[in-house]
Structure formats: structure tokens, C-alpha cells
Amino acid sequence: MPLPVAIRRISEPSQETPRSLRGTFAGYVSPGEIPVKSVQQLIPRGSGITPLDSRGKKTLPAIYLFGKQRCVRNVWGSWEFQYGFGLEYDEVLMIIPNLQLPESTELPAIPRVTLYSRIFLNSICSSVLGRFMYGLSKHHGRFEFQPGRFRTLNRHGHQIFEADIKLGEGAVSEDSVNAIRELLATPVVFAGRLNKSSGCALSIRQFDYEVSAEAIQPIETTITVDEKFTKKIPTQTFQTVGLDLDPNGSFQCEFPWVMTDYRPAA
């Protein structure tokens, strides 16, 4: 099948975001913790990225996003390119917030960044396109769904991630919604393409999520992350309460998003 299979004009050319990747994430967000030493091992070597505050701490927060990516497509200026594959796939990510990136010759200093340290998905084509076009380091996995349960297996068939999910019924505060918006607006760092200045494989992107309280529902989770998920962290199990009971609690969501190059604040 030739690529792309669908091209359509969506608007007048935009000079601010000439190229973007767009889609909708429909799934779950749940917190966890990882050892400080493991965080240092997951950070790309030579990047200079460091935790904002790890003094006296044995662990640092991590966040797991797992669910389905829908209608993922590329947009160049006023033209939208849709492919015959990769529009919808299952995915699980581990992200590490509250890191900082010092300034180098080609990279700006960013006081707060989020590291996308591990990504598994079940679309080989999307993985290849992500690596080639955006420098995203992705790994292929297999996903299984049952009512209230989400499982991911690596390409060798070993279970690397499992989540038991129970929907909550409480209300989510506006402060919690604003905290989610702030977290998702933080610049994102991937272990991606080689940077000539730092000699480190690093890629900085900006995500814009359309976050609304109506699209959020609190959940309770029990998550098991196998050591094969990162190959650097021992197997861990987390039990979490919903976002209605804890500002850092778990929730179900459906957020449209746009990914562009990093845009420094004016």
C-alpha cells in the first residue's frame, strides 16, 4: 500500500507549528515510584539531565500511562497525512517527571522536563515511523485486555506490565485537573536522535493536551511492573487510590493531543 494513502487540506498554513503529530490518548494514568539509582541509569548518558531534588530520598515518582492511541497522524502546515497503518494502537509508557536539563551549545536550559524513559506499543509500523521521523525510541509488545485488567508482554512473550483497574465514583477537584494540565504541558525529553553538541541521543518535544474535567474519572489500580520492562529496575507492585482521594491518584481519561518541536517560553 503506497504512503501516504490519504492527504487532505485542513486549514491555512501555520507558521508556528509547521509540523506536528496528533492523536487521542484513551486510557489510564497511575503513579509509582522507582529507586533514585535506577533513575540515574535510565537517564541518557551525557545528557546532563538530573532530578530536581533527590537529596535524602531513596525513590522518586514515576507515572505510567497505558491504553490506546487513536487517530494518530502527521500534519505539515495545512496538510494532514493519514496512513493505512498506525492510526490506532495500544501503548504503555513510563515517564519520570520533575527533572531538569542544563544548557549546552545546542540545547536550551529547561528547569523542568519529563523523561519518557520506556515506551511499548503493538504497532511495528508506528514504531518505525516514530523512530525515523521524530527520534522516538519505542519497543514492540503484545497487549491483552480483560474487564478491569490490562496486560503487556514483550516480544519474547514475557509479561512485563499488568494493571488491575477498578473504576471510582468520586468527584475530581479543579485543582487536580489543573495539576494534570501543568504536568502534561512540561517539555518532554526522549532518548532519541544523536545531538551533535552534547554527543547524547536526545530529542525535546512539546505536547499540548486538551484536558477537561469531564474526560477524567478516578480509578483504583494494582500495577505490577516486571524487571524486564526497563531491565534496570527490580519487579515492583503498586497499589493506588483514585484522583478523587489523592491529588496524585490514578485516573481514566481521554485526551486529544498535539506533539510539536519544543517551543521555549517567550
Taking the C-alpha atoms of residue 114 and residue 190, their distance in angstroms, rounded to an integer, is 9
- Per-residue tens of pLDDT for the chain, all 266 residues: 333 334 334 444 444 546 788 899 999 999 999 999 999 888 887 788 899 888 888 999 999 999 999 988 877 655 555 443 447 899 999 999 999 988 775 677 899 999 999 999 998 777 777 776 666 778 889 999 988 999 999 989 999 999 999 999 899 999 999 999 999 999 998 876 555 555 556 788 899 999 999 999 999 999 999 999 998 899 999 999 999 999 999 999 999 999 888 877 66
Nearest to 238 by CA among 69, 84, 62, 26: 62
Q: What is the pLDDT of residue 86?
A: 43
Nearest to 223 by CA among 30, 58, 69: 30
Matching CATH number, 6-261, of 2.60.40.1180, 2.70.170.10, 2.40.400.10, 3.40.50.300: 2.40.400.10
pLDDT tens digit string along 192-226? 655 555 555 678 889 999 999 999 999 999 999 99
Q: What is the pLDDT of residue 199?
A: 54
Q: What is the pLDDT of residue 192?
A: 62
Q: What is the pLDDT of residue 193?
A: 56
The residues spanned by each domain of the chain are 6-261
Q: Which residues contact 239 (CB under 8 A, 6 or more apart)?
A: 220, 221, 222, 223
